Amino acid sequence: MVVSQARRSSGAICGTRTAVGRAMAAIPGDLPGCGVAEPYWVTEVAGVRLNQGAILDCRTVAALETWVDDGLLPAAGRRRGGPAALRVAAHYDCRTRNNQPGAKVSEHGKGRAIDISAITFRDGTVLTVLEGWGRGRDGRLLRRLHRTACGPFGTVLGPEADRFHRDHFHFDTAPRRSQSYCR
């Protein structure tokens, strides 16, 4: 793990070393299958801020920390001063998959998913998934970040998965019987 780039936090949550946030009261779901028994409001992981807090369960917090430590920080390195923040496009939301009527409940509705649409670097540069995917050096970095999320997360979707994910990465920790599902 890349510890030198990560700011250690004495108030780390969910047994992680660097995830910063706070415990919340249980969230009951508005739809059957929604809700989070032990949610956390997460604001930072390994010294990288989330542009908005995200409601996640502990398994997802731990997966996010692993991806930031082992994927994002090494891949981005000192480029543009290094990653400063992640733009959260979605986190807990009691809804169906892709907001489609009749679909199964999304992992977002269980606190087991986070969508990331951009990285802000310390020099102020913003790299969006929508604009950077498939474009030179930025595209190669985004592909590497997508690939390194496979493993810590059970499901990883990006711009080539479908029309719903063309502008962000979807990471979730849905239980799987075999290896990660990455598209």
Residue 11's Cβ-count burial label (10 Å; 0-12, 13-18, 19+) is exposed
- pLDDT of residue 52 exceeding 80, the answer is yes
Q: What is the pTM of this model?
A: 0.91
Degrees (nearest 5) of the Cα angle 53, 10, 145? 50
Residue 68, H or E segment: none
Does residue 23 sit in helix, strand or coil?
strand
Residue 1 — pLDDT band, cuts 50, 70, 90? very low
For residues 96-104, give the mean pLDDT: 83
Q: Who contacts 48 (Cβ-Cβ below 8 Å, separation ≥6)?
A: 68, 72, 73, 83, 84, 85, 86
Specify the higher pLDDT residue, 3 or 174: 174
- Counting other chains too, the contacts that 37-43 makes at CB distance below 8 Å and 24 or more residues apart are 39/92, 39/111, 40/13, 40/14, 42/13
